Amino acid sequence: MIGSFVYDALPVRVVFGRGTLSAAAAEVERLGAKRALVLTTPQQEAEGRRLGAGLGGLFGGIYAGATMHTPADVTEAALSIMTESGADCVVSLGGGSTTGLGKALALRSGVDQLCIPTTYAGSEMTPILGETRDGLKTTVRTLDVLPETVIYDVDLTLTLPAALSATSGINAVAHAVEALYAQDRSPIVSLMAEEGIRALAVALPAIIRDPQDVEARTQALYGAWLCGCCLGSAGMALHHKLCHVLGGSFNLPHAETHTIVLPHAVAYNAAAAPEAMAAIRRALGAADAANGLFDLICGLGVPQALAEIGMPGDGIDRAADIAVEKPYWNPRPIERDAIHALLARAHAGEPPLSETVSKAA
């Protein structure tokens, strides 16, 4: 049964395919920009310089200092370079760290953004910016940070290491999962979410088997686009709150944190969101949503425990306290003891509680 809902279609131009990186200069010109500052991480600086060469006279310089969780001091350094270069547009080449920096610059200066993602993070499709200052990560939602144009080039993902492809892909799945039970969910978003989860659940194991599988890479990038659309059109809940706490306060790697926490957050909400759980089960072909996700992750051979990625055991108490201090909306009430137990299971790498157990609890 379909009830009342509100759906905001976001104004993002998408160019999807193989070899589409060659359209970058034309897309910058389409924005009316004269000088573009290319943004990358230090690891992707060489790729950024090649992109700059392809921009020709539109290339205004490069800032290769993007890093995860968008620290405010990095943004200020990039803003200074952008001002000096006279750039009126930023071109973000990379994953969520680079996209986040581009958004932060757009928020402060109003410049247009062209995003060229090389991972499956999905941030390029959202009007959401997460920034870290003084050890705390906060988010803002505004169309001022929504990129104007996104170029998806499947060829750019062929060199993405298999393990990073897996965690980046599960990070994308997390966006779709939460959109299924978000406060502002809608039938349109739910359709995209289920299809996005399905595409990635099929593609990621294939990529682990053969990172050069072009069809799997295409399916994964397609799924990531859909999942990013979901995050852009619907709100966030417990899973993203926990990941923001763990990333911002403990400096844990973004994609790996999402990968580990997701099955546990789903188990926490299972009894309160039965329609969402049914959609996840259909997309995975699994009998249980939370454990289906856990099994998918196990099969990808990536970390399953927060302890494996640097989370100290004595930090669980602090993380639980921060998570309940200013909680995001969630279908199940946020209870400090239950959150602590969730984090403890995720820290140890234990399987999530099944839906049956969650309903009985």
The Cα 251–Cα 135 span in angstroms is 8
The gap from C-alpha 184 to its chain's centroid, in whole angstroms, comes to 19
Residue 361: its pLDDT value, please?
43
Looking up residue 328, the CATH number of its domain turns out to be: 1.20.1090.10
Supply the range of the domain harboring residue 266: 162-360
Q: Is the pLDDT of residue 4 over 60?
A: yes
Residue 290: its pLDDT value, please?
97
Query: pLDDT-based confidence at 239, cuts 50/70/90?
Result: very high
Q: Is the pLDDT of residue 215 over 50?
A: yes
Residue 355: its pLDDT value, please?
55
Token digits for 335? Answer: 């209870």
pLDDT in tens, 248-263: 889 999 899 999 999 9
Residue 5 within a domain: no
Same domain for 152 and 138, yes or no, is yes
Residue 105 within a domain: yes
Residue 360: its pLDDT value, please?
43
pLDDT in tens, 299-327: 999 999 999 999 999 999 999 999 999 88
Token digits for 266? Answer: 């789903």
Select from 157, 179, 194 the last residue of a domain. 157
Instruction: Give me the residue label for tokens 């200020």.
Output: 76
Same domain for 175 and 317, yes or no, is yes
Q: Is the pLDDT of residue 75 over 80?
A: yes
More confident residue, 202 or 123: 202
The gap from C-alpha 318 to its chain's centroid, in whole angstroms, comes to 24
Same domain for 37 and 108, yes or no, is yes
Same domain for 127 and 214, yes or no, is no
Residue 8 within a domain: no
State the average pLDDT for the chain. 94
How far is the CA of 273 from the CAs of 31, 64, 127, 141, 266, in angstroms? 42, 42, 25, 24, 9
Select from 133, 157, 181 the last residue of a domain. 157
Residue 278 within a domain: yes
The Cα 320–Cα 342 span in angstroms is 9
The Cα 214–Cα 219 span in angstroms is 9
The gap from C-alpha 132 to its chain's centroid, in whole angstroms, comes to 16
Q: Is the pLDDT of residue 1 over 70?
A: no
Query: pLDDT-based confidence at 358, cuts 50/70/90?
Result: very low
Q: Is the pLDDT of residue 342 over 60?
A: yes
* Mean pLDDT in residue range 340-360: 81
Label residue 277 exposed, middle or buried (CB < 10 Å: 0-12, 13-18, 19+). buried
Same domain for 150 and 247, yes or no, is no
Query: pLDDT-based confidence at 47, cuts 50/70/90?
Result: very high
Looking only at the bridges linking them, the beta strands covering 136-141 and 149-153 are: unpaired
What one-character-per-residue DSSP string does 266-309 give? HHHHGGG-HHHHHHHHHHHT-S-HHHHHHHHHHHHT----GGGG
pLDDT above 90 covers a percentage of the chain that reads 85
Same domain for 92 and 176, yes or no, is no
Residue 306 within a domain: yes
Looking up residue 135, the CATH number of its domain turns out to be: 3.40.50.1970
Select from 157, 182, 213 the last residue of a domain. 157
Same domain for 119 and 169, yes or no, is no
More confident residue, 263 or 139: 263
Same domain for 234 and 153, yes or no, is no
Q: Positive or negative, the Cα torsion across 219, 222, 228, 233? A: negative
Q: Is the pLDDT of residue 350 over 70?
A: yes
The Cα 107–Cα 147 span in angstroms is 11
How far is the CA of 341 from the CAs of 128, 252, 309, 356, in angstroms? 29, 19, 19, 17
Q: How many independent structural domains does the chain possess? A: 2
Residue 51: its pLDDT value, please?
98
Residue 6 within a domain: no
